[in-house]
Amino acid sequence: MTHAPKELSLEMDGTFDEVAKEIEKAISGKEPFLWFTDKRGIRVGVSFDKLAYVEIEGGDHSRQVGFNT
């Protein structure tokens, strides 16, 4: 996220493709926020105008989505 002192990291259920499709769907729909619910049930909204990039880790690790400047 731009102008943020540290990255936002979330652990989520779902496959790499499922998470990526949700991000793409929200961006293409021009929604002001992208909402995520992590494994603990915490809901986080990310404003697209503050989004710098998205990194999705997969494989043997838990599904994580990270945002950074």
DSSP per-residue string spanning 12-23 = E-S-HHHHHHHH
Residue 9 has pLDDT above 60, yes or no: yes
Tell if the pTM clears 0.85, that is, is over it: no
- Mean per-residue pLDDT over the chain, rounded: 76
Closest CA to 19 of 40, 27, 1, 2: 27
Segment 17-46 mean pLDDT: 83
Residue 41 has pLDDT above 70, yes or no: yes
